[in-house]
């Protein structure tokens, strides 16, 4: 267990005014003001950096920036810490300076270009030691001047293994993180997804669920359920429910089987604290709690799990002028503080505002994998995409081939690549097994032995691992047909070698194609029923603007803003297409009247609902500031999932508007509670109306939302 150094004990050089970096290429002068601007211009061209104004304007400008960056010494980068928008070194940047100063001192005069050459020419042990003396910005700088071959080759030379019940990251191994998500946390469907994954040789890294409902009760119930499934199957692996870290800590304190503790990380303090409701003090506290009383105490050498991915800071508008690759490297130096069991990179998860194309996603994943490994992390990769981007399954598959060659520790197992709760597309157990057979890789040794005993794998006469007679047959664990009725987007169990059969693939791809069309449907007021709604407009005038720049959909246009004045209502309902007009068309006619009726019976006053095409979730705050209700209920179409039905999925974001007296010095601060997957195969709209009203009543009573509301509800329950 590494000692956690106090932030006050981590030395960071004082911030300096921005320096001008200049060069002439072929008699053409180029100048970049500040290290942030130089780092942004030196990177591959990506949508998020273009949106932030950080990307190079041309290929020659990019090469000029790379030439300057290559000539900078590590000492020069060390002496120029990046600051936030207030000119301050934030806590995330400070943690990045917790390095081996002796190693750094030996290499401080090395240039970034020389560092790249050293990594390409050095041995594994030398590179691992070298990485311990690097800050995030140094590592990002090295990654920006590498090409595809170099990113793959350098990463392949670095290995980091970690141990819980299984050991992942050993040479010749490729593991899998089984993700049995379901739109309503249906335990029967989760069981089937767990059994399907195990039968396909997946899950040796982790069985981990993203819960549809992030409460202590639900998280504890899910933990106990998958703990029982794991025990009954006998599979040597570990479990996790990917709730907020505060929720997991409460579950641990209530003696739920918290084996691996999870949290999403961000590369700027503002994003981590304001959007993820987390800080380094909380991470430190949870780390110590797991070391003292985690369910795998005495078994696991590592027990923390972090997810990262380029673009969250940009998507929330809190990147502090730092490009996506550098912000991602800052996530990794934060993760390094806790010696994690797993780090999972989900670049591609956000959408076209950060990564629009296959090439942008592939290159970013290769950079992320290299940076994480150089910083000593056990990198798992999840090259993924959403239907509102231009990324395709083929692009994702190219990324996985390259990342396997580069030595990724594990990939995800999302059954048939369709996440039934998060509405995105990731690698599947079929992908994992295909990659194992192409690259002669095996699961973790402990898991492999168990899978051979169950007939999932066996060995040929030369000792090579191969698919056994029970590979792909979840019926060895359960009564298959009874559970199958509970699972959407399950198109059959037939396989062809390590791949799903053609019939299954055709059904999967056809449903994805239909779902992608929902992204581009236009919102029609005529399809929403007779309930009167007041139209307003956002700053996103077109569908293209709406998809490409999320900030535009978070604000009202000037004309609409001028029409709104405070009306003293308790609740303001806003209806927006978000990323699926079809979700609004299919759910609002039943949901809205039932919701207004439920709220009225509670005695809450409700303003005339607003209809806002091309809106984003954060539009709730702009409307909240204009009308000043106590609660804004944002009913918004979610990004379509992997079948025609789930393309109709709606979410309710309940934003509690707090005054400065209620929440620190802020004049206004919003806390969100979310109810997702409102549609015919998730939570039906009429039932959702009652659940939303119940949550609104709790929020009005406690004047809180999100994690703080959950804590207050738990205290009230305990009294």
Specify the pLDDT at position 665.
41
CA distance linking residue 707 with residue 709, whole number of Å: 5
Cβ 538 vs Cβ 555: under 8 Å: yes
Specify the pLDDT at position 642.
67
CA atoms within 13 A on the CB side of 479: 4
Cβ 379 vs Cβ 373: under 8 Å: yes
CA distance linking residue 74 with residue 474, whole number of Å: 53
Give exposure, 433-453, as e/b (b: 16+ Cβ within 10 Å).
bbbbeeeebbbbebbbebbee
Which helix H or strand E contains 572, and what residues bound it? Answer: strand 571-576
CA distance linking residue 55 with residue 597, whole number of Å: 50
Residue 201: both structure tokens together: 């040789």
Residue 570: both structure tokens together: 């308790």
Angle at 445 between CA 442 and CA 448, to 5 degrees: 65
DSSP type of residue 419? -
Q: Is 206 helix (H, G, I), strand (E, B) or coil?
A: strand
Specify the pLDDT at position 519.
85
Which helix H or strand E contains 446, and what residues bound it? Answer: helix 445-453
Q: What are the domain boundaries of the chain?
A: 7-156, 175-491, 525-718
Cβ 547 vs Cβ 521: under 8 Å: no
Cβ 344 vs Cβ 413: under 8 Å: no
Residue 71 Cα distances to 24, 109, 114, 141, 294, angstroms: 14, 11, 8, 11, 47
462: CB partners within 8 A, 6+ apart: none
CA distance linking residue 193 with residue 190, whole number of Å: 5
Q: Is 168 helix (H, G, I), strand (E, B) or coil?
A: strand
Residue 6: closest CA among 102, 98, 101: 98
- Residue recorded with tokens 């993203």: 210
CA distance linking residue 220 with residue 253, whole number of Å: 11
Give exposure, 246-262, as e/b (b: 16+ Cβ within 10 Å).
bbbbbbbeeebbbbbbb
Residue 166: closest CA among 207, 204, 134: 204
Cβ 97 vs Cβ 7: under 8 Å: no
Residue 656: closest CA among 593, 597, 707: 707
Q: Is 162 helix (H, G, I), strand (E, B) or coil?
A: strand
- 3-state SS of 333-373 is HHHHCCCCCEEEECCCCCCCCCCCCHHHHHHHHHHHHHHHH
397: CB partners within 8 A, 6+ apart: 431
Query: Which value, to the nearest 10 degrees, does the dihedral of the CA atoms of residues 230, 231, 232, 236 take?
Result: 60
Give the global pTM. 0.91
CA distance linking residue 545 with residue 614, whole number of Å: 9
Specify the pLDDT at position 664.
47
- CATH class as words, domain 175-491: alpha beta
CA distance linking residue 344 with residue 364, whole number of Å: 14
Specify the pLDDT at position 512.
86
How many CB atoms are located within 10 Å of the residue 393 CB?
A: 16
Sign of CA dihedral 679, 680, 685, 688: negative
Residues 662-705: pLDDT tens digits? Answer: 554 433 489 999 998 898 878 999 999 999 999 999 999 999 99
Residue 218: both structure tokens together: 């639900």
- CATH class as words, domain 525-718: alpha beta
Q: Is 210 helix (H, G, I), strand (E, B) or coil?
A: coil
507: CB partners within 8 A, 6+ apart: 491, 492
CA distance linking residue 684 with residue 679, whole number of Å: 5
DSSP type of residue 418? B
Specify the pLDDT at position 94.
98
Specify the pLDDT at position 667.
39
Q: Is 22 helix (H, G, I), strand (E, B) or coil?
A: strand
* Phi, psi dihedrals of residue 672, rounded to the nearest 5°: -110, 140
pLDDT beneath 70, residues of the chain? 1, 481-486, 488-489, 642-644, 646, 660-668
Specify the pLDDT at position 483.
61
Name the burial class of residue 350, with classes exposed (0-12), middle (13-18) and buried (19+) by CB atoms within 10 angstroms of its CB: buried
* Phi, psi dihedrals of residue 80, rounded to the nearest 5°: -125, 65
DSSP type of residue 271? I
Region 7-156: CATH code? 1.10.220.70
In this structure, are strands 239-241 and 261-264 parallel, antiparallel, or unpaired? unpaired
Cβ 286 vs Cβ 244: under 8 Å: no
Give exposure, 505-522, as e/b (b: 16+ Cβ within 10 Å).
bebbeebbebbbebbebe
573: CB partners within 8 A, 6+ apart: 592, 595, 596, 606, 607, 609, 610, 632, 633, 635
CA distance linking residue 659 with residue 673, whole number of Å: 17
Long-range contacts formed by 14-23: CB under 8 A, 24+ apart: 15/81, 15/83, 15/87, 15/88, 15/89, 16/79, 16/80, 19/80, 21/65, 21/68, 22/68, 23/64, 23/67, 23/68
CA distance linking residue 423 with residue 636, whole number of Å: 14
Specify the pLDDT at position 666.
38
Percent of the chain residues topping a pLDDT of 90: 85
Cβ 306 vs Cβ 343: under 8 Å: yes
Cβ 606 vs Cβ 573: under 8 Å: yes
């Amino acid at each position: 267990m590494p000692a956690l150094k106090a932030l006050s004990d981590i030395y960071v050089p004082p911030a300096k005014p921005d320096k001008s970096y200049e060069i002439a290429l072929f008699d053409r002068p180029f100048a970049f003001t500040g290290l942030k601007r130089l780092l942004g211009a030196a990177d591959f061209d990506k949508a998020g950096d273009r949106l932030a104004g950080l990307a190079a304007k041309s290929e020659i400008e990019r090469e000029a920036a790379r030439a300057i960056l290559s000539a900078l010494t590590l000492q020069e980068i060390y002496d120029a810490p990046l600051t936030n928008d207030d000119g301050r070194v934030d806590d995330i940047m400070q943690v990045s300076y917790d390095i081996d100063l002796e190693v750094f001192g030996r290499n401080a005069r090395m240039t970034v270009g020389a560092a790249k050459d050293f990594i390409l020419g050095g041995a594994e042990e030398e590179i691992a030691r070298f990485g311990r003396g690097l800050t995030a910005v140094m590592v990002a700088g090295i990654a920006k001047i590498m090409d595809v071959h170099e990113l793959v080759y350098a990463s392949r030379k670095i290995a980091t293994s970690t141990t819980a019940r299984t050991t992942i990251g050993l040479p010749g191994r490729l593991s899998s993180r089984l993700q049995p998500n379901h739109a309503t946390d249906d335990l029967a469907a989760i069981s089937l997804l767990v059994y399907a994954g195990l039968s396909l040789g997946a899950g040796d890294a982790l069985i981990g669920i993203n819960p549809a409902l992030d409460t202590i009760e639900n998280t504890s119930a899910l933990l106990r359920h998958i703990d029982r499934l794991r025990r009954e199957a006998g599979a040597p692996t570990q479990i996790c429910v990917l709730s907020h870290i505060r929720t997991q800590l409460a579950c641990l304190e209530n003696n739920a089987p918290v084996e691996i503790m999870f949290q999403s990380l961000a590369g700027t303090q503002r994003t981590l604290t304001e959007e993820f409701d987390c800080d380094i003090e909380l991470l430190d506290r949870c780390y110590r709690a797991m070391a003292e009383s985690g369910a795998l105490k005495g078994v696991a050498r590592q027990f923390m799990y972090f997810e990262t991915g380029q673009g969250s800071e940009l998507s929330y508008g809190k990147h502090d002028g730092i490009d996506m690759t550098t912000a991602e490297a800052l996530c990794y130096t934060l993760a390094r503080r806790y010696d994690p069991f797993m780090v999972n990179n989900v670049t591609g998860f956000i959408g076209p505002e950060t990564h629009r194309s296959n090439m942008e996603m592939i290159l970013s994943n290769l950079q992320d994998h290299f940076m994480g490994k150089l910083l000593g992390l056990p990198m798992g990769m999840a090259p993924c995409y959403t239907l509102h981007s231009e990324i395709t399954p083929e692009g994702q598959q190219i990324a996985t081939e390259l990342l396997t060659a580069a030595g990724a520790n594990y990939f995800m197992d999302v059954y048939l690549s369709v996440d039934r709760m998060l509405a995105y597309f990731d690698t599947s157990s079929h992908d994992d097994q295909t990659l194992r057979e192409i690259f002669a890789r095996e699961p973790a040794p402990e898991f492999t032995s168990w899978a051979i005993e169950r007939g999932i794998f066996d060995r040929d006469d030369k000792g090579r691992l191969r698919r056994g007679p029970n590979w792909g047959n979840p019926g060895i664990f359960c009564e298959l047909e009874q559970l199958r009725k509970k699972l959407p987007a399950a198109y059959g169990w037939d396989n062809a070698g390590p791949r799903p059969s053609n019939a299954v693939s055709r059904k999967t791809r056809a449903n994805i194609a239909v779902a992608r069309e929902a992204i581009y449907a236009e919102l029609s007021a005529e399809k929403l029923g007779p309930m009167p709604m007041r139209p307003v407009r956002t700053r996103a005038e077109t569908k293209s603007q709406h998809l490409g720049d999320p900030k535009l959909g978070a604000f009202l246009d000037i004309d609409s803003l001028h029409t709104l004045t405070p009306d003293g209502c308790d609740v303001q309902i806003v209806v927006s297409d978000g990323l699926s007009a079809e979700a609004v068309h299919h759910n609002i006619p039943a949901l809205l009247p039932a919701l207004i009726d439920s709220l009225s019976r509670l005695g809450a006053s409700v303003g005339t609902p607003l209809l806002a095409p091309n809106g984003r979730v954060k539009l709730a705050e702009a409307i909240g500031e204009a009308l000043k209700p106590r609660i804004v209920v944002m009913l918004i179409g979610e990004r379509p999932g992997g079948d025609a039905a789930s393309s109709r999925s709606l979410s309710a974001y309940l934003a509690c508007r707090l005054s400065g007296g209620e929440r620190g010095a802020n004049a206004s601060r919003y806390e969100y509670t979310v109810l997702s997957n409102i549609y015919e195969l998730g939570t039906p709209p009429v039932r959702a109306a009652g659940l939303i009203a119940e949550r609104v009543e709790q929020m009005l009573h406690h004047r809180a939302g999100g994690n703080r509301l959950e804590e207050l509800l738990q205290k009230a329950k305990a009294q």
